[in-house]
Structure 1
């Protein structure tokens, strides 16, 4: 267990993005030290440090660096859970709130669609028929409606959750391919440069997720300094904005990957070229359960919620 832990820490430190991963952890612990010193007095901190011998100071510095690296690795392990909470996959005590907010998004999506239809009818396909403000609203609504789940019953309680849910849903609606089943296979067939673009987009989403978690934890230093709460909440708001932007881009890239390369799944498995979503559903059934289209099979159920690439 200990050997594996140190191996993970060593691998994390060796990566190119080490600075990006460690910077939020450094800011968190540095801010905590600053908050403690602002309450206890810098003189007391300086006196305590001066009372330590050189070996003790060196040991404290090394221990602090190891604790910094360890906390960064732990946050990396926890980022998937933080992301799911940010999407709206909340535990049982908050399930009622989750579904209430999801219903609000259903109504909001309906209002967006109705307003978009109103503007579309007004311009009749020619945006010049709208005022500048209406053209801007039309473009904004059009971009958002295309990135929300097509099925209102699958809405999530947050914008982030809906952006990622729509990306999960897209291959099923268009091609009958369930993302959780087909994405690992498709990933292996994508060109290297496409995988790098997708990995970079996902990395930006993960970075913003870790920043959100560190920012919310930073509020804990309010016990020593009042300014920790507004600083932490401000950074959390910026991190949330970064998460939604990153999810927007990442979702677009996942959709584009399925749009352009999903025929490769059929080709490499020796299946005929797909002609519609039903062919994709048969392939999903085959990959998930080993049921070949020539074998007796049951109908394919809709994809389970929350399975994303």
Structure 2
């Protein structure tokens, strides 16, 4: 039965697999545990739950598996919506507008990170300057140029005297990674996942002046199969983490409703909430990996994208960026654009003659 259901799922969507069933299995099993323990009308009875679940026969287990597969099939088409919900695309209602105040929190956090980076860098530089004065008798302002001062600081940090500053340097090195997870201030989203994805979307095609969202589907159609397989694996990790997070939040709500009148048993809701938090953090890491692969696929297949559109290939990076600015305007629907086509020989409708077969005059 599970194999048949997964085979049916593969006809419904490419990403449906055993991994897709796991969040649904967690939801079904947790709900069954609540119901069989009698939590819906009184305090949970663990011995009753164990006896009821342990007494399942083959027919009961088959029904449990069937319900799990049905729930998984129901959740599967909702995957994109669940991911976008975690990103922060909440519509324009009053409630959504209120929740978007989280954008202010992330803008302030971004500003604090930038200020913290500058403060730590200044603290490191002052400490190195004090060492230069103490151990080498070098005055910062009078004896060295800016370039020589930088070299002297690096040499001092690499010496035995700089060992105690390693922790400070490590703290500075972590901040650029956190800053890279944020887009421009006007593009900040209300959630961490949304910011990671949007930042990566903006950065992936920026060096080529390509709009990642607008061109990703085009590039996916011309990329080789092994590139797409690698991309799909990373996408499945992101989808699974996001789905598990949403399901765990639903389980948390369900547990709270069941156990609200039972006193301390309500603390049991912390377990699925903790799982939701872990799954959400995992989705952030998976999003960074996925968008990194999207960027790599774009790097390796952008010329196939140009060729598929019969766009004249650029001769250098500057010309490529200039061409792509016009190409993006064309794909957005602009009428007056400077895009030059270069059709392969023998392309129908171009007027070019077909190639002469070998051995013929």
* Superposition TM-score, scaled by structure 1 size: 0.77
TM (normalized to structure 2)?
0.67
CA contact (8 A) 2:23 2:244 kept: yes
2:331 to 266, 271, 287: 287
Q: 5+ residue gaps in structure 1?
A: 1-5, 296-309
Indicate conservation of the 8 Å contact 1:218/1:228, yes or no.
no
Query: For 1:196-228, what per-residue CA distance to the aligned partner results, in whole angstroms no more than 9, with x for missing partners?
Result: 222111110100011111111112034445354
Corresponding residue SS for 1:39? coil
Q: Which residue of 2 aligns with 1:21?
A: 20
> What are the Cα deviations for residues 34-54 of structure 1, in whole angstroms up to 9, with x where unaligned?
22222365559968998x9x9
Change (3 A) 1:43 1:163: closer
Distance, in Å, in 2 between the alignment partners of 1:240 and 1:7 is 26
**Paired residue secondary structure (1:271):** coil
Q: 1:48 to 1:7 in 2, by over 3 A?
A: closer
Matched, 1:136 2:170: yes
Helix, strand or coil at the partner of 2:182: coil
CA gap of 1:180–1:294, structure 2 versus 1, over 3 A, is same
Aligned to 2:195: 162
1:81 aligns with 2:125: no
* Residues 1:136 and 1:194: Cα distance change in structure 2 (over 3 Å): farther
Separation in structure 2 between the aligned mates of residue 7 and residue 24 of structure 1, nearest angstrom: 14
Contact 2:197 2:287 in 1 (8 A): yes
State how many pairs are aligned. 284
CA positional deviation for 1:255? 2.5
Gapped regions of structure 2 (runs ≥ 5): 40-44, 126-149, 260-264, 340-361
Distance in 1 separating the partners of 2:15 and 2:196: 29
CA contact 2:9–2:17 (8 Å) conserved in 1: no
Higher CA-based Rg: 2
Residues 9 and 73 in structure 1, CA contact (< 8 A), matched pair in contact too? no
- Separation of aligned partners in 1, 2:117 and 2:11: 47
1:146 aligns with 2:190: no
- CA RMSD of the aligned region, Å? 3.5
What are the equivalent positions in structure 2 for 1:234-253 lying under 5 Å apart? 234-253=274-293
1 CA distance for matches of 2:329 and 2:77? 32
The residue aligned with 2:95 is 94
